[in-house]
Amino acid sequence: MLCKVYKVPMSAPDDISGVKKLLTKGEFKAEDIVAFIGKTEGNGCVNDFTRGFTTFTLQTLMSETLGISREEVAKKVAFVMSGGCEGIMSPHVTVFVKEEKETKVIKKKKRLSIGVCHTRNFLPEELGTIVQTKEVAKGVIKAIKQAKIDNFDDVHFVQIKCPLLTNERIMEAKKRNKIVVTTDTYKSMGYSRGASALGVALALREIDKDKLNNDVICKEWNLYSKVASASAGIELLNCEIIVLGNSKEAEGDLIIGHSMMKDSIDSEAVVKALKNVGINSEEELLRVVNVFAKAEADPTGNVRNRRNTMLTDSDFNHTRHARAVVNAVISSIIGDPMNYVSGGAEHQGPAGGGPIAIIARVNRN
């Protein structure tokens, strides 16, 4: 198989002209697209409808191009839109293409591989619970097998789009005498992200299954995945899973590596992630295709023993602060503000930190 990745700028949530241009030029075929991961310019909160708007626009393009319904497209392709482009973060969408082809090469270096899986729809009372965790774990295993990755150490980033609770969904559960994990729709985003992230940890055996239950979700911060990234949204009821790793069965000139930021200003982790894809100098930064990272306000309200107001700012949500800070740190090193930085890192890396992954072209020298 051959995997390709394209980072496409967007001038608005419905601007897919760049994707259309690549299709017209024949850079790839629509039927080979397996996933889109985008940063849209809404607020990233419950009422961020730019995520759904971009998803609808891309699904419509795929529907018209492939001659199938949007519903069929949604089952075939993963659409992960993360809202919030605070600070200097530039809106964009990353297109993931996977061409299935036979190769006669027996031994070669591992290259980027992609696996995609959709879970079943969740009931409102299942969101943010161990039920969601277990279903995500099953999906991650399926995606890893699809990507033909034979070693968990070769999995470098698992991106998940997960649902959240709305007032309507909460009321529907109450009518059936079911209890939801929270009646705060915004907090439900964190519970859904956290349950999803623990599903990745369970699948990759980062955490023993006996340590996971409803009581630890969004409470026991020492339990986390080093490669999970989850983004919650109102626009779906299931989880869409994208596994990114390196496989000996994959061809092409792309690889992926990762590191883990211990806090929001951990620039050393960015440098380490670059080194993990073979980039050791400023001149080599042109080989970077895109950077994917999680960001969050440390639950202690401090960064390196200095108090901040991210968690107490009633005017500006803490996830928005975090995205701006982390993207600025990454941009200052990469030299490009167009990165994928998603807010809310519950169980996604250590408290206050998060995973950072880089897709890059290999050095042909």
Of 231, 259, 264, 342, the catalytic one is: 231
| Maximum Cα interatomic distance, the chain, rounded to a whole number of Å | 64
Handedness of CA 333, 338, 342, 343 (dihedral sign): positive
Q: Is 231 a catalytic residue?
A: yes
* Cα distance between residue 188 and residue 126, in whole Å: 11
Enumerate the β-bridge partners of residue 229. Answer: 159
* Cα distance between residue 146 and residue 140, in whole Å: 10
Of 161, 196, 294, 342, the catalytic one is: 161
Q: Is 161 a catalytic residue?
A: yes
Angle subtended by helix axes 318-334 and 267-276, to nearest 10:
50
Contact, 351 vs 101, CB < 8 A? no
Handedness of CA 70, 238, 188, 123 (dihedral sign): positive
Pick from 208, 173, 194: which is nearest to 130 by CA?
194
Secondary structure letter of residue 195 according to DSSP: H
Enumerate the β-bridge partners of residue 306. Answer: 303
- Provide the annotated active-site residues: 161, 231
